[in-house]
Structure formats: structure tokens, C-alpha cells
Amino acid sequence: MYKSAVGIITRNSSTYIQECIAFNYMIGFDKIIIGLDNCEDDTAEKIQKLPDEILEHVDVFDNGIHRPDFGFQHKGYQTIYDRYKDKVEWLAMFDDDEYFYDSKRRKINDLLNGISGDVGQIVLPWLNFNHNKQVLSAPPDVTRLAHFTTLCDSHRYYPIECKVIIRLGNVVTNGNPGDWYYCHSAEVFGKIVTFDGKEQHLPSGGTSITPEHKETCLVHYITGSMEDFVNKYKNWKREKGLLNLPIGWSFDSLMQNSCDVADTRMSIYVEELKELLTKCKN
């Protein structure tokens, strides 16, 4: 039985996939499960170039579906649940541009070992950062973390909602295993807490609250630059149609430069991550 796993459903993530996996290895997840969603680039090849010490912890599967909405993620989540429900105690579902943060740099398993047995779900405040005034994307030899914490003067920041880490043995399927998980909450038996032990109450289907405890949270770098955003927006519009974009993700809303903050919290991980990535195979 593994203590922890993180599941990541990704598509065409060649630029940052090595950084994403190396980071999750660095913070101590026992398994890093990658669901490839009809990748058209060399994401799979980039994964295989990671050092062997990391690849030992990586499982890759073909998600096998791509639809003009976010249903493909939930199919991937279900696949991960079916495969790992009897092998992993705690499961996180992160995107490839989301990074776990702990101000004391504690490993994920050390934090999970401090959670009592009557807890079914842990809430992570979800801190979202946009490109703000950064025009160009990071050069190929600079990680996204270094780009955001050293090259960007500030970012557009807005705290919305949360994400969760689930104790798989406590999942409630209600007779419909395909509908057990939403990326911001799950149906579970037991208490719902933040890592500092404060109990939370999540509305069904997600939450619009942001817990106050941000010493342990999830940092979401939606777009690293105006260049990155414009390319992502074009893809969204092409694949999903303008009317099917996520709520709050219109071109105008993401182009705004309000809520500017200089947030360098992730800088504590930059050097170790860089060292890991230097071990990648050519």
C-alpha cells in the first residue's frame, strides 16, 4: 500500500511535463500517475528522458479520449481510482500547472502521517496566478517556477475555491463509481480538514470558499506570460468554442492586470528542481 499518489491528466504538455513530474517526485509522492489525453506532441518521449530515480515512481496510461469539454479529466480520474483504490491510501488530482507548496518544505507523506484516521478529505487552498504584465514566455532552459519567482515582477493573483486530497478508502460512490469525484471535492466518509487540522464544510459539487490556511496550499500558474495565454486561448477557442470556455475564463477576464502581487513563495523549490532536471537524459 502506497501512502500517496498524484494523478495528472495532461495533453500536449511537452514544454513543462518534465518539470511537473520532477517537482511532484521532489515533494515526495510515492506514485505520479500521468494520463495522456491524445497527445500530439512529444510529451510521452519527454517523460522517458527523466532520470531513472524519478521514472521508478511514474506510471503512464493513455486516457484515450478527447472531448470539447472537461469530461476527459473525469474519465482519467475514474481510471486512476479503479487502478489504485486498493494500492494507495491518499490520492491528489492536480493539473500539470499546479504545484504543492508547504512553507516548511515538508514532504507530502510527513504531512499525511499527521492526519488522524477519521479524516476522509484534506482541503488545499487553491492560489491562482496569471501572467499579469509578463509578455514573453520563459526560455527553454528556465523552469516555470524560476520564471514566476525570479523573472516576473508580479502576477495577477486571485484566490478562488480549493482542491482536495482524498483518502481512497473513504470514497462514497453512491452506486455510481463514475461520478464520485469533482476536482474541487469528492464524496467521502469522515471529516474534511486543512493540513493545520481545521475542519471544513464543502458544499456538494465543490466550494467557492478559500480556507485561511495558506502555509500549505496549491499554487496554480494558469499562464506564464501574455504569449502563453494568447496561445492557450486560441486552443480553447478552436477546441471548445467560445461559448464552452470555463466560467470566468473569458479573454477579457484573463487579460486584466488587477490584483497584482509579487509572490515568490515557490522560490524555495527552484534550485533543487533545477538540479533534478539537469539529470534528464538527452
139, 185 Cβ separation under 8 angstroms:
no
Q: What distances in angstroms separate CA 138 from CA 134, 142, 269, one per listed residue?
A: 10, 6, 17
Tens-level pLDDT at each residue, the chain (282 residues): 999 999 998 877 888 899 999 999 999 999 999 988 777 788 899 999 999 999 999 999 887 655 545 555 677 788 888 899 899 999 999 988 899 999 999 999 999 999 999 999 999 988 877 765 666 677 778 888 888 776 655 455 555 578 899 999 998 876 555 556 666 778 888 999 989 888 887 765 555 555 666 789 998 887 767 777 777 777 666 665 554 555 455 555 555 544 456 678 899 999 999 999 999 998
CATH number of 2-277: 3.90.550
DSSP state of 188: B
Write down the residue that cell numbers 509579487 correspond to.
262
**Spatial distance between the Cα atoms of 13 and 248, rounded to a whole number of angstroms:** 23
Of 80, 25, 72, nearest in space to 47 by CA: 25
57, 30 Cβ separation under 8 angstroms:
yes
Spell out the residues 6+ positions from residue 91 whose beta carbon is closer than 8 angstroms to its own. Answer: 4, 5, 6, 7, 80, 81, 84, 165, 166, 168
Residue 156 C-alpha cell reads as 495577477
Angle (nearest 5°) at CA 236 between 8 and 147:
60
